[in-house]
Amino acid sequence: MSQPFQPFRLVVEALGVDRGGRRVIEGVDLTISAGDAVLVTGPNGVGKSTLLRALAGLGRPVNGSVRFEADGVGDPDEVGRHVHYLGHRDAVKPALTVRENLAFWQDFLGGEGGAPVEAALEVVGLLDLADLPAAYLSAGQRRRLAVARLVAVRRPLWLLDEPTAALDAASEMNLVRLMTDHIERGGAVVAATHLAIGLAGTRSLRLVAGETA
Amino acid sequence: MPPLVALYVRELRLSVRIGGGALMGVLFYLIVVTTFPFAIGPDLNLLSRLGPAILWIGALLATLLGLDRLFEADRDDGALDLMVASGQSLELLVIVKVLAHWTATGLPLVVAAPFLSLLLAMPVDVTIATVATLLVGTPALTFLGAIGAGLTVSLRRGGLLLPILVLPFAVPVLIFGVAAATAVAYDPAAFRTPFLLIVAVTLTAAAISPIATAAALRNGLD
């Protein structure tokens, strides 16, 4: 569908992150290269979301570093512009239409190489609702609109935090297919999810209270 | 569309749609200003003398009214996370959001002021002077308010805290604004100095606010 990504590596070294004055992530070492799929698992409250946020460059790590290394990347510390972060909240404005919501993020995050807005909405099955204010969408449809962002804006690394929350079975399958396509094109996915991704080379990163294994 | 233009357009769209604050500020302004003549009574001389002060206090309160949602709405739905993570300069983003907010809420106040001045029996020259001071002074209020909005973004119901934080810094704008507008009635030459001081406050606020607000927003992300 679109161009393969050039090889890249996300290098995480001795990462430590505090949340609410408490050390949540301690000493995480991780390298994610093109074509990787990493599932972050662990019990509630162990720091899966905090880890993904730290990888996306949200919140400053207490120690350690997250670097994005690839040819032509000037500043490896500027991780944010190479990743997609799909958090718990969908970043959907109820007052804007479905199309306006997606078009804004495409313009704001940079649409080069991504699918056009209509095509991205088609992929997640929201094209019929394109001109409806997002206030009328169900939770699952809002989630699909957030997923459409992954298609409309081209970024090599996807950080997905419980991406299947509120999605029905068909949309889940669709998301897995999108992730598979993305990985085949040389992208990488880090997901905090219980979803089984049918892909060779899926790694699992299990967080346990107090340390990582 | 370039990213920052897209942001500006989106902010304006949001402010005129349901739940936006564009009309709320100007309606509040109307309410505040129209109640003054009822309270003060039919003394037209007194009313016209107080006119610039009333218009300025109304504008100050109306500006503060909508500021608490400047970043809070984007934080609540996760859009702020994406904006911070996007790699765009947070300082530029703050400038664009402030300019869009001023266009949607500050500019209507400036436009409404000449009509409201009729209710206050203000002479034409004083009205023109008041509108001029509002035009250069209200951006300072929005820029200063943005710092407060950035600081209170992670607080639930931080709306009341914001005016308390911002008001002390907004007082010089109010003083110079009213001084310049009132001076015109007595000595037109006395307009220049306080007017230039408002311009200076606005430029200072425009220089400091993006940096301070961006720092506050980065700190507020948890």
Domains of chain A in start order, with CATH, are 34-56+80-212 (3.40.50.300)
A100 interaction partners in chain B (CB closer than 8 Å): 10, 13
- Interface residues of chain B, partner chain A, Cβ below 8 Å: 1-3, 5-7, 9-10, 13-14, 17-20, 76-79, 81-88, 218, 221-222
Contact B86 A80 (CB under 8 A): yes
Contact B77 A108 (CB under 8 A): no
Interface test with chain A among B76, B86, B97, B219, by most A beta carbons within 10 Å = B86
Sorting pLDDT into bands at 50, 70 and 90, what band is A114?
confident
Amino acid at B63: T
Q: What average pLDDT does the structure give for chain A?
A: 84
A88 contacts on B by Cβ (under 8 Å): 78
Contacts of A78 in chain B (CB under 8 A): 87
What is the distance in angstroms between the Cα of A112 and the nearest Cα belonging to chain B?
Answer: 11
Mapped onto helix, strand or coil, the DSSP state of residue A4 is coil
Q: Which residue of chain B comes nearest to A87, CA vs CA?
A: B78
Over residues A72-87, mean pLDDT: 82
Strand partners for A18: A23
CA of A81 vs chain B CAs: smallest distance (Å): 5
pLDDT digit string, tens, across residues B84-103: 888 788 999 999 999 999 99
Instruction: Please give the pLDDT value at position A213.
Output: 42
Contacts of A89 in chain B (CB under 8 A): 76-78, 81
Q: Per-residue confidence at A103, pLDDT binned at 50, 70, 90?
A: very high
- Residue type at A133? P
A211-212, strands of its sheet edge to edge: A83-86, A157-161, A188-192, A37-41, A202-208, A211-212
Digit-coded pLDDT (tens) for A125-135: 889 999 999 99
pLDDT at residue B220 in the model: 78
Residues of A139-150 as b/e, b for ≥16 C-beta within 10 angstroms? Answer: eebbbbbbbbbb
Given an 8 Å threshold on Cβ–Cβ distance, is B85 in contact with A80? Answer: yes
This prediction has a pTM of 0.89
Beta-carbon neighbour count of residue A88 at 10 Å? 10
DSSP state letter for A97: B
Instruction: Summarize the confidence of residues A113-130 as an average pLDDT.
Output: 89
Q: What per-residue confidence (pLDDT) applies to A73? A: 77
| pLDDT given for residue B111 in this prediction | 94
Please name the member of B1, B14, B86 whose beta carbon is closest to the beta carbon of A95: B14
Taking 60 as the threshold, does the pLDDT of residue A57 lie above it? Answer: yes
**Predicted ipTM?**
0.86
For residue A58, the chain B residues in CB contact (below 8 A) are: 81, 84-85, 221
Residue identified by tokens 């035009």 is: B135
Q: Which residues on chain A are in Cβ contact (under 8 Å) with B79? A: 91, 93
Which residues in chain B have their CB less than 8 angstroms from residue A83's CB? 85
Mutation target among A79, A104, A106, A136 for the B interface, most CBs of B within 10 A: A104
- From CA A201, how far away is CA A161, in angstroms rounded? 20
- How many angstroms separate the CA atoms of A74 and B41, rounded? 68
Query: Which residues face A37 on adjacent strands?
Result: A189, A202
Per-residue pLDDT 10s for chain B (222 aa) are 888 999 999 999 998 887 777 888 899 999 999 999 999 888 889 998 899 999 999 999 999 888 888 888 888 888 988 888 887 889 999 999 999 999 999 999 999 999 999 988 899 999 999 999 999 999 999 999 999 999 988 887 777 888 888 999 999 999 999 999 998 888 888 889 999 999 999 999 999 999 999 999 888 776
pLDDT beyond 60 at A21: yes
Which pLDDT value is given to residue B18?
Answer: 76
Alpha-carbon distance A78 to nearest alpha carbon in chain B (angstroms): 7
Distance from CA of A101 to the nearest CA of B (A): 9
